Amino acid sequence: MSKRAPSTSSISSKKKTKLASDQAVLDTYFRAANSTNGRQTTTTAAPSRHTHRNESSDVVSEEIFASLESMNDALSHHTSWQDGHGTKQNPIQLDLGDEPNPQGSMVISIPPSSHDRFASPPDPCEKTTASLPSRRQTNLGLALPPTEPDIDYSPVAVDPLVYPIHECPWPVTSPAPYSFLVHTLTVLVNTRSRIAILDVLTNTLRCLILYHPTSLLPALYLLSNSLSPAYSPLELGIGASVISRAIRHVSGLTSGALRRLYNSSGDPGDVAFEAKSNVRTLVAHPPLLIEDVYQSMLKIAYIKGQGTARQKQSIVERLLVAARGEETRFLVRTLSQNLRVGAVRTSILTALARALVLSPPPNPSIPIPSDSSLHVTPHFVVSIQPSSGKQKKNNDPQHNELLLKFANAEALVKQVYVQHPNYDHIVAGVIAGGLDGLPTRVPLTVGIPLHPTLGSPARSLDEIYERLNDMPFTAEFKYDGQRAQIHASKVVGGFPSVHIFSRHLENMTDKYPDVVSLVRSMFAKASYLQSFIIDSEIVAIDPDDGGLRSFQDLSNRARKDVEIRDIKVPVCVFAFDLMYLDGEIFLERSFRERRELLRTRFPALTPASVEPGTALFAHVNSCESSQGRKCIEAFWKEAVESRCEGLMIKLLDNVENITTHHSGKTRKRPLPATYEPDKRTSAWLKLKKDYVDGLGDTLDLVPVGAWHGNGRKAGWWSPVLLAVWDPTKDRLIAVCKCMSGKIHCTITYAASNPTFISSLVKVWEIRGADITLSPVSLAALGQVSSTRGLSLRFPRFVRVREDTRPEHASTTQFLAQMYRDQQSRGKGTTGADDGDLMDMDVEVEAQIEDESDG
């Protein structure tokens, strides 16, 4: 059976003679590739879509591979390339190209010559292609360099004090290989111990700092599964279909075979590893480098325009061809934005701080001071006695000194990051001078969002008074809008620079051109104003009476490139905190001081009439605890009956000692009223009506579908699609997704679409915050709105209803009546889920399994 499609083009007799000669050489490559026990076996670096393969015969014959190795001596003429570390053999790269060669021919890529002014190793994403069967130099310059042996890395899951940091894990003349980072990820994915995770990350980052500092930044982004700061608009923008096609193209598997792998594992990285495990390449590829992989990810993210998917797939294919062993698994997991390792941002920052304490960056121009409180010398590290596994405490004074330095460094790095969340700037700062003086080199900056302070939930006013011990506080409306951090600064000779960031640091300046115009008018009215950072809530308002409108009215606005002329619903910026003003940082000041400055320096701007496209500026509506509890209770009732979500309770002044009760113990601790970035502080308490009562009744809903869980929910169905019963149509109608019920995954896995649940159809009792209008739900469509159905906000699993059949579940009419009832009580909020009650990890699998067995 022919393995290649016959050519339909006309070929001259001379070319035929030459091709026949070339084919004789190619036959040497494939001389053992015919049938083996009746099965066809193919050797290929990147199987063409036109190459016929049997799903059960993806293993390359060892005789073929051995014969390829033996050809190195015969093909002795080869080129070389020069980098900064000497002459190296020419690692010919198989290039898949954007489209497979119609002749089924292999494509090769030649690395840069020795006179290349960049003097760098070949980039796996750069290509110079030539069709191998038609090359004139068939036996010239096609040497197959021997495959470099895999590096046997030292264990990284050890105490950093005993890790052999004096030895570079990879050849010292080479850049940091991607396999070193994969070695780290492999260890991380197999441990849940926080101590082990920190040790692994610390040892890894130390090696990069000492032996290849330029790989430190790419490694931090790859470890954190990101490409750039959160406020950057850069996104990888690669879908599961592109990755699947790339895996199929490189491995030669059919769609059916690949689907079976997905069904058995459910993880794209595991699928890619299994699919490529039996593939052999004709030539050895240079090892992937950490910098190369990161740069390839950036190339994928920057590709725009026509043919985007094809170009991205081509880059992914080249990376997969060059990847070896476990590199394939984690490469695809990185592309899928799901590394599945227990290294969260806090762990990475902690490890970076410890690595910098033990191994300051080598910078002869800026020596580390001998009395540094944040760094140690190599001699000091050697003299420390590491703790044994059985010891709970180490009485070595030097060890305790090291722990103190660790604590100081960790606090410093985290403080810098939450105020300036940009790895690029932080790495540049530590490379320039270590940890000493880092806050000065990487300060809080207008235009770069800081992580916001978060509030802790409270269930009642009684709990609030008990927790704050009658200390002075203020109660503010918790508006049903979008939290916005507004950065603005005066620009010489131009309009003031304005940036608006969400709670999750996403840049949403283009979404609010009306707010940008409002801020610029504030600069025009206050000539002395230079720069500021304000925390606020953007809320939709009624243009007729200025009343508050729901979050859903705000969410209908486009996410970017909004034109003022297209704005239908005006907004008001309700400011509630001031973090920076005219070059001065106010994070360490009490809330009472910050609020006073905000109110005096930024007066309200509320015109008598509000036109669409016009934004207003106001201060949050508030009530002081000094006015008495009855006044606070009346203010709470006003918030509940309005379109607000509830109240924010904020401590006004710093408290030196406040009594707290935890686990039956009473202790005193300080409670600052400062602005605490990225902390869920007890000085801010949120009392939401969702927490206090929620719906007056529960709903009986039917689980009808589910998505396969990712990360820590792998192996479970989560979220679960729930439905109500529509008696007019005599069938179930989907109403919402519930994240809090987890069913053990025993059914066929569907990667992106929900899988219909047939054998587990039961009725669940569900409680939620309120009923909302939904642009996608069809439940009760036409009963309260002609264009929108109803959905349930914050659905939470209560129990399985043993006594109820699916046709007796809650009806669409009941759902509509609940919506009307809550509207009459003033509970018509449709705010965005802020995650507090979204995922409570209520596990119902035991009940489900018991019922299935019965």
Beta-carbon count within 10 A of 727 CB: 10
Among the candidates 300, 315, 335, a domain finishes at: 335
Nearest to 796 by CA among 691, 726, 714, 713: 691
- Of the three residues 441, 462, 477, the one that is the final residue of a domain is 441
Nearest to 511 by CA among 555, 451, 446: 555
| pLDDT bucket at 329, cuts 50 / 70 / 90 | very high
Domain boundary among 441, 464, 479: 441
14 is catalytic: no
Q: What is the pLDDT of residues 413-445, one digit of tens each?
A: 999 999 999 999 999 999 988 898 999 999 999
**317 & 289 share domain:** yes
In a domain, 150, yes or no: no
Q: Which of 312, 405, 414, 478 is flagged as catalytic?
A: 478
| Residue range 791-809: mean pLDDT, rounded | 82
Which domain, by its residues, includes 251? Answer: 240-335
Q: Check whether residue 777 and residue 663 sit in a common domain.
A: no
Determine the Cα–Cα distance for residues 147 and 281; give it in Å rounded to an integer.
Answer: 10
| Residues 802/805/806/812 CA torsion (nearest 10 deg) | -100
Same-domain check for residues 475 and 614:
yes
836 has a pLDDT exceeding 70:
no
Residue 93 has a pLDDT of 34
Average pLDDT over residues 90-116: 32
- Report the b/e string of 102-127 with b at 16+ CB within 10 A: ebbbbbbbbbbeeeeeeebbbbbbeb
Residue 525 shares a structural domain with residue 563? yes
Mean pLDDT (whole number) for 558-562: 88
Return the CATH number at 262.
1.10.3260.10
Element housing 658 (H / E): strand 655-662
Lowest mean pLDDT across 244-248, 458-462, 833-837? 833-837
Q: Are 756 and 847 part of one and the same domain?
A: yes
Question: 138: Cβ–Cβ under 8 A, 6 or more apart, which residues?
Answer: 21, 22, 25
- Give 838's pLDDT tier (boundaries 50, 70, 90): very low
The reply to whether 612 and 470 lie within a common domain is yes
pLDDT of residue 71: 37
Q: Please check the confidence at residue 488 and state whether its pLDDT lies above 90.
A: yes
Question: Is residue 233 one of the residues assigned to a domain?
Answer: no
0.85 exceeded by pTM: no
DSSP string, 505-567: --B-GGG-HHHHHHHHHHHHH-TT--EEEEEEEEEEB-TTT--B--HHHHHTS-SSS--GGG-
- Which of 182-196, 354-368, 492-506, 690-704 is predicted least confidently? 690-704
CA distance 234 to 422: 13
User: Helices 240-251 and 255-265 sit at what angle, rounded to 10 degrees?
Assistant: 120
Q: How many domains does the chain fold into?
A: 5
Produce one character per residue of 470-482: b if its CB has 16 or more CB atoms within 10 Å, e if not.
ebebbbbbbbbbb
Q: What is the pLDDT of residue 121?
A: 38
Sign of the CA dihedral 19, 22, 28, 29?
Answer: negative
Q: Which two tokens stand for residue 359?
A: 């191994």
Question: What integer best gives the mean pLDDT of the chain?
Answer: 77
Instruction: Please report whether residue 309 resides in a domain.
Output: yes
Residues 643 and 741 in one domain: no
Query: Is residue 102 a part of any domain in this protein?
Result: no
Q: Is residue 806 part of a domain?
A: yes
**Same domain for 642 and 524:** yes
**Nearest by Cα to 296 from 322, 273, 270, 277:** 322
- CATH number of the domain that residue 655 is part of: 3.30.470.30
Q: Which uninterrupted H or E stretch holds 340?
A: none
Are 290 and 219 within 8 A, CB to CB? Answer: yes
Residue 111 lies in a domain: no
Residue 156 DSSP class: -
Higher pLDDT, 105 or 251: 251
297 and 355 assigned to the same domain: no
Supply the CATH number for residue 761's domain.
Answer: 2.40.50.140
In a domain, 144, yes or no: no
Angle at 696 between CA 693 and CA 701, to 5 degrees: 115
Q: Inform me whether the pLDDT recorded for 759 exceeds 80.
A: no
Locus of tokens 């066929």: 748
| 611 and 704 belong to one structural domain | no
Are 494 and 640 contained in the same domain?
Answer: yes
Are both 478 and 591 inside the same structural domain? yes
pLDDT by residue (tens digit) across 46-75? 333 333 333 333 333 344 334 334 433 333
In a domain, 216, yes or no: no
